[in-house]
């Protein structure tokens, strides 16, 4: 099994470099390493390396959710590649659900024993006729994408990470955005029903439960069930929404009537607003306009993830 580390040294405002420096001092297996240099580079590296030859490969990502998104995007439907992660980001929602490596000893045991891997789904968004995006964890339309856009260009995240409180940067951005965001209307269509929602804050599409640095927004989501889940927050005041955000960490938000949950193999989401932000796995991908149809689907058995016998793997087999 060939091993490649794809390292984002900038992940977690420098945490990626610290984690990688410590890890490489402990490794005794043969491996290659590639450092990402710019946004999207992880996808390019993974895609090129995966297509080199017809041998089994293990790609280990050292970085955060954004780097994981890039790398998985580059190897979708390649049966020879297994993905593993050493978390080094600020939110690390991937690590809250999928099994990850914690140290060099665990990596070496996996490589030498050639332990098993599990097939995972990947979510897909089609925004209008031209733009296609995939997501590993979740994607969002509305307030969560609005927060993502602002936090990625803010110094707030940098300062929180410097003092070890990176998870709070999302919460702080949420509070700030509550006073500036404008709600919108959407129509959600499945094969069996059409539902209209008014005064919508956001529509979150999930392939696993967590987003925003540990908020369990979609408790029923599983990454290998062939389904995608929508969480729609609508007709709720700013003050009550702020209170609900605090309950998401403890899975108590499911009791509120202003939060609707839908599950299907495919959704068509029609946004009734001039401009609404979108993201995939915390990466801002732009805004959509009036009556643009966003088709959300899931592709089954799209990529392989490591299986660790002693991990906290919560994926149903």
Q: Region 188-205: what's the mean pLDDT?
A: 95
Give the Cα separation of 208 and 97 in Å (integer): 7
Q: Which residue did the predictor score with more confidence, 304 or 155?
A: 304
Q: What is the pLDDT of residue 164?
A: 58
Asked if pLDDT for residue 310 goes beyond 60, the answer is no
Predicted TM-score of the model (pTM):
0.88
Quickly state the pLDDT bin for 169 (edges 50, 70, 90).
low
Q: In this structure, are residues 138 and 218 in contact, taking their beta carbons and an 8 Å threshold?
A: yes
Q: What is the pLDDT of residue 139?
A: 96
**What CATH number belongs to 123-300?**
2.60.200.40
Q: What is the pLDDT of residue 158?
A: 59
CA 44 to chain centre: 18
Q: What is the pLDDT of residue 66?
A: 93
Q: Region 286-313: what's the mean pLDDT?
A: 85
Q: What is the pLDDT of residue 271?
A: 94
CB atoms within 10 A of CB 80: 16
Q: Give the chain as a 3 state SS string.
A: CEEEEEECCCCCCCHHHHHHHHHHCCCCCCCEEEECCCCCHHHHHHHHHHCCCCCCEEEEEEECHHHHHHHHHHHCCCCCEEEEEEECCCCCHHHHHCCCCCCHHHHHHHHHHCCCEEEEEEEEEEECCCEEEEECCEEEEEHHHHHHHHHHCCCHHHHHHHCCCCHHHHHHHHHHHCCCCCCEEEEEECCCCEEEEEEEEEEEEECCCEECCCEECCCCCCCCCCCEEEEEEECCCHHHHHHHHHHHCCCCHHHCCCEEEEEECEEEEEEECCCEEEEECCEEEEEECCCCEEEEEEEEEEEEEECCCCCCCCCCC
Quickly state the pLDDT bin for 140 (edges 50, 70, 90).
very high
Q: Do the domains spanning 2-115 and 123-300 agree at the CATH topology level?
A: no
Query: Taking all residues of the chain, what is their mean pLDDT, rounded to a whole number?
Result: 89
CA dihedral 35, 24, 159, 41 (to 10 degrees): 10
Asked if pLDDT for residue 160 goes beyond 70, the answer is no
Asked if pLDDT for residue 114 goes beyond 90, the answer is no
Give percent of the chain with pLDDT exceeding 90: 70
Can you give the residue ranges of every domain in the chain? 2-115, 123-300
> Strand pairing partners for 303?
120
Asked if pLDDT for residue 68 goes beyond 90, the answer is yes
**What CATH number belongs to 2-115?**
3.40.50.10330
Q: What is the pLDDT of residue 19?
A: 97
Asked if pLDDT for residue 308 goes beyond 90, the answer is no
Quickly state the pLDDT bin for 116 (edges 50, 70, 90).
confident
Q: Region 164-193: what's the mean pLDDT?
A: 81
Q: In this structure, are residues 69 and 136 in contact, taking their beta carbons and an 8 Å threshold?
A: yes
Quickly state the pLDDT bin for 215 (edges 50, 70, 90).
confident
Asked if pLDDT for residue 251 goes beyond 50, the answer is yes
Most confident of 53-62, 169-178, 243-252: 53-62
Q: What is the pLDDT of residue 165?
A: 56
């Amino acid at each position: 099994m060939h091993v490649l580390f794809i390292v984002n040294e900038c992940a977690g405002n420098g945490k990626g470099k610290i984690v990688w420096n410590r890890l490489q001092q402990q490794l005794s297996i043969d491996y290659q390493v590639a450092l990402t240099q710019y946004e999207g580079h992880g996808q390019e590296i993974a895609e090129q390396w995966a297509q080199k030859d017809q041998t089994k490969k293990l790609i280990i990502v050292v970085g955060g959710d954004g780097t994981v998104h890039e790398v998985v995007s580059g190897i979708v439907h390649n049966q020879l590649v297994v993905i593993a992660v050493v978390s080094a980001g600020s939110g690390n929602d991937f690590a809250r659900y999928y099994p990850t490596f914690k140290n060099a000893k665990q990596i070496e045991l996996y490589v030498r024993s050639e332990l098993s891997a599990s097939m995972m789904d990947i979510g897909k968004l089609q925004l209008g006729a031209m733009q296609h995006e995939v997501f590993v964890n979740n994607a969002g339309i509305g307030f969560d994408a609005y927060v993502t856009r602002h936090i990625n260009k803010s110094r707030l995240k940098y300062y929180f990470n410097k003092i070890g409180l990176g998870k709070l940067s999302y919460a702080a951005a949420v509070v700030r955005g509550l006073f500036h965001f404008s709600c919108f209307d959407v129509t959600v269509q499945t094969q069996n029903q059409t539902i209209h929602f008014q005064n919508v804050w956001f529509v979150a599409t999930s392939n696993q439960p967590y987003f925003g640095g540990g908020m369990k927004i979609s408790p029923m989501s599983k990454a290998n069930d062939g389904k995608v889940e929508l969480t729609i927050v609508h007709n709720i005041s700013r003050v009550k929404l702020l209170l609900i955000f605090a309950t998401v960490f403890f899975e108590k938000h499911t009791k509120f009537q202003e939060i609707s949950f839908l599950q299907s193999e495919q959704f068509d989401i029609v946004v009734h607003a001039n401009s609404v932000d979108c993201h995939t796995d915390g990466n801002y991908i732009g805004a959509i306009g009036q009556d643009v149809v966003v088709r959300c689907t899931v592709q089954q058995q799209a990529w392989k993830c490591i299986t660790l016998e002693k991990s906290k793997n919560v994926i149903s087999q």
